[in-house]
Structure 1
Amino acid sequence: MIEWLDSIAGTPLGGHVAMGLALTSAMAHASFGAIQKGRHDPWVSRAGIDLWLLAYTLPLALFVFPWPQGGEWLILLGASGIHFFYKFFMAMAYERGAYTVVYPVVRGTGPLATLVFAAIFLAEHYAPVQWLGVAVLSGSILWLAKMNLDAAPLNRPALIAALGWAVVTGMTVAVYTTYDAWGIRLWQDPFAFILWLFVFTSVDFPTYMIVRERGIAWMRTLLSRGAIGGILGIVSFGGIMLGTRIGKVAEVSALRETSTLFAALIGWLILGERSTPARVALMGGIAAGAILVQMG
C-alpha cells in the first residue's frame, strides 16, 4: 500500500486519489465540527473526542506499526503543540459564536493561507487560475459567514469576538496543514505517522480538561458522541494527511474546504435549516473555487 501511494505521488492518478481523499475528509470534517459544537460545551466535546481517538489509535501505534525513530519524535512534538493551539482557538470560537458563523470563517481563511505557506515552505508552484480559485472559494465562504452574522439574533459583540477567534483558527489550520504535509513526507510509513500523530495530539485536551475541571466527572457527559467524533476525526484528518502526501498541499486543502457545503447540507437535512438564493449562490462559489484550483 505504501509503495503504491509513493508510486502515484505527483501523477494524474495521484491527483485523482488525493481529490477523493479530500472530499471524503470534507464530509467527515463537517460532521466532526457539528458534533464538537452541538448543544454541549465545545471544550468537553473536544476532550471526549480526543479520548476516543486515543483509545482507537494507541493500541495500533504501540503493537502494530513501527515506533518513531530519531528526529521523528521532534516532528511529533512540534505537531502536538500546533494542534493544541488549533483546538484551543477552535473551542474559543465555538464558545462565543454559532456554528454557521464560525465554521465558514475558519474554513475560508485556511486555504488561502495554506497556498501561501505551501508556496513558501514546500516550494510548491501554483498557476494564476489556482490563486483565483482559492480567492473565489475563500471569498464565498467569508461572505457566507458575513450573511450569517448579519442574520444572527444573538449577541453581536460575542459573535464579532467569535469571528476574530475563527480567523486565528483558520491561520492555525494553514500552519498545521503545511507542517503535517512536511512531516508525513519525511516518514517512510505514512500510516505510522498518522497513528502516532493522533496519539500525540489526543492527550493534550483531556489533560487540560482534567486540570481545568479538577477531576474526571466531565468524562461521563459525551461518551457516545465522542465515539462517533473519534471515527470522523480519523477519517477527516487521516484522509487529508494522506492526500497531502501524494498531492499538492494547497489543492488538497482547497477541496477539503467544500466541507462548508456539507455543513450546509447537514443544517438543511438534519437541523431543518433553510437557505436563501444568495446563500445557495455563495455555496456554488465555494464549489467553483475548489474546481478552479483542481483544474489549474
Structure 2
Amino acid sequence: MTTSVFLAILAAAALHAGWNALVRVNLDRLLAITLIQIGSGGLALLGLAFVPVPVRAAWPWLALSAVMHIGYNVYLARAYRIGELGQVYPVARGAAPLLVTLVSVMWLGDPLAPAEVSGVLVLVGGIVTMAFVGGRRGAAPIDRRTIGCALMTACFIAAYTLSDGAGARINGHAPGYALWLFAVNGLVMGGMLWRLRGRRALAALSGYWRVGLGGGAMSLLAYGIVIWAMSRAPMALVAALRESSILFALLIATLWLKEPLGRGRVLAAGMMLAGMVVMRLS
C-alpha cells in the first residue's frame, strides 16, 4: 500500500467518524441513517453529469451493494435500539474486516503477505477490545441479541465492501462508480422509508436538512475514498484500515463530548495503532 493510499484511507476514517458524531439529532436510528443516505444521494445526483455511466459488467455489483446497504441500515438501526453505541459499533466494524479478509484472500484472489495479515488481526483485536472492555464504567454487559444484530451488520458491511471493491475494479473509474452507488442508495433508502413509515417520516427529515447535507457530504467523500482505494490496494487492507475511524471517534468522544478515557480504551487504541503501523511497514 502506497503512502498516498494509506493517508487517503485515514482521511476517510476521520470523515466517517465525523459524520457519525454530527448526526446527534432527535430522530430514531432508522430515520437518522436514512437522512444521511438521502443527503449523500442528493449530492451524488448533482455529480452524475460529470462522470461516465458504469460499464454493464459493473451494474450487478452496484445493484448487489445497494441491496446489502439496505440490510446494513436495517440491522444497524435494530442493533442500536437494543444495544449501546460503544459496544455495537466496534463489534460490527471489527468483525467486517475479518470477513473481507477471508473472502478476498480465499475466493477473490487478493493475496496478503503474512505481515499484512498480522496487522489486520492486531487492528481488529483492538477494535474488539474496544467493544468489550473499552465502554463506560458500569455499562450493562453486551447481550446475545445485541451481538447477533451487530454480527449481522458486520456481514452486510463485508458484503457491500467486497461488492464495491469488485465493481470499482471492473468499472475502471472509481469516482463514477461511487457517485452512481450513492445516488442509487439514496433513492432506494428514501423509497424504503416511504414504504415502511409513510409520507410523515420523510416530512420529519425536512427539519434536519442541513445535518443531512453536511453528514451526507462527509459520508459520500469518506466511502468514495474507500472505493477508490480498493481499486489500488488489497481490499482486506483497505477494509481493516478504514475501521481506524473508531480511533477518531474516540478522540471526538474524549475531547469534544467529554467522555471518560478509561484504561480499556487506551489499551484498545494502542492495539489499533500497532496494527496500523504493521500494515504500513509491511
Q: Same fold (TM over 0.5)?
A: yes
CA offsets per residue over residues 217-247 of structure 1, 9 Å max, x none? 2222422221111011112110111111111
User: Aligned partner of 2:132: which letter?
Assistant: K
1:251 aligned to 2:237?
yes
How far has the Cα of 1:105 moved from its partner?
1.1
1:267 aligned to 2:267?
no
Q: Which residue of 2 aligns with 1:3?
A: none
Q: Which residue of 1 aligns with 2:44?
A: 57
Give unmatched runs, 5+ long, in structure 1.
Answer: 1-13
Q: What is the DSSP-based 3-state SS (H/G/I as helix, E as strand, rest coil) of the residue aligned with 2:87?
A: helix
State the distance in 1 between where 2:66 and 2:100 align.
19
1:26 aligned to 2:13?
yes
1:75 to 61, 64, 84: 61
Residue correspondence of structure 1 range 1-296 to structure 2 within 5 A: 15-36=2-23, 40-61=27-48, 63-148=49-134, 151-153=137-139, 160-215=144-199, 216-296=202-282
Q: Bigger shift: 261-270 or 139-148?
A: 139-148
How far has the Cα of 1:58 moved from its partner?
0.9
**Any conservation in 2 of the 1:42–1:91 contact (CA below 8 Å)?**
yes
User: Aligned partner of 2:164: which letter?
Assistant: D
**Any conservation in 2 of the 1:46–1:205 contact (CA below 8 Å)?**
no
User: Aligned partner of 1:197: which letter?
Assistant: L
The 1:108–1:37 alpha-carbon spacing in structure 2 relative to 1, beyond 3 Å, is farther
Q: What is the DSSP-based 3-state SS (H/G/I as helix, E as strand, rest coil) of the residue aligned with 2:261?
A: coil
CA offsets per residue over residues 165-213 of structure 1, 9 Å max, x none? 1122122222211111111011132221111111111122221211222
The 1:95–1:104 alpha-carbon spacing in structure 2 relative to 1, beyond 3 Å, is same
**Any conservation in 2 of the 1:254–1:293 contact (CA below 8 Å)?**
no
**Any conservation in 2 of the 1:117–1:175 contact (CA below 8 Å)?**
no
State the distance in 1 between where 2:281 and 2:237 align.
10
Q: Which residue of 2 aligns with 1:8?
A: none
**Any conservation in 1 of the 2:135–2:265 contact (CA below 8 Å)?**
no
**Any conservation in 2 of the 1:53–1:231 contact (CA below 8 Å)?**
yes
**Any conservation in 2 of the 1:114–1:177 contact (CA below 8 Å)?**
yes
State the distance in 2 between where 1:160 and 1:117 align.
25
Q: RMSD of aligned C-alpha atoms?
A: 2.0
The 1:117–1:161 alpha-carbon spacing in structure 2 relative to 1, beyond 3 Å, is same
How far has the Cα of 1:97 moved from its partner?
2.0
User: How many percent identity over aligned positions?
Assistant: 26
Give unmatched runs, 5+ long, in structure 2.
Answer: none
How far has the Cα of 1:21 moved from its partner?
1.6
Q: What is the DSSP-based 3-state SS (H/G/I as helix, E as strand, rest coil) of the residue aligned with 1:124?
A: coil
Q: Bigger shift: 125-134 or 255-264?
A: 125-134
The 1:265–1:244 alpha-carbon spacing in structure 2 relative to 1, beyond 3 Å, is same
How far has the Cα of 1:258 moved from its partner?
1.0
Q: Which residue of 2 aligns with 1:4?
A: none
User: Aligned partner of 1:202: which letter?
Assistant: G
Q: Bigger shift: 96-105 or 29-38?
A: 29-38
State the distance in 2 between where 1:150 and 1:167 align.
21
Q: What is the DSSP-based 3-state SS (H/G/I as helix, E as strand, rest coil) of the residue aligned with 1:40?
A: coil
Q: What is the DSSP-based 3-state SS (H/G/I as helix, E as strand, rest coil) of the residue aligned with 1:271?
A: coil
The 1:132–1:37 alpha-carbon spacing in structure 2 relative to 1, beyond 3 Å, is farther
How far has the Cα of 1:18 moved from its partner?
1.4
State the distance in 1 between where 2:25 and 2:115 align.
37
State the distance in 2 between where 1:69 and 1:235 align.
22
How far has the Cα of 1:150 moved from its partner?
7.7
State the distance in 2 between where 1:186 and 1:293 align.
26
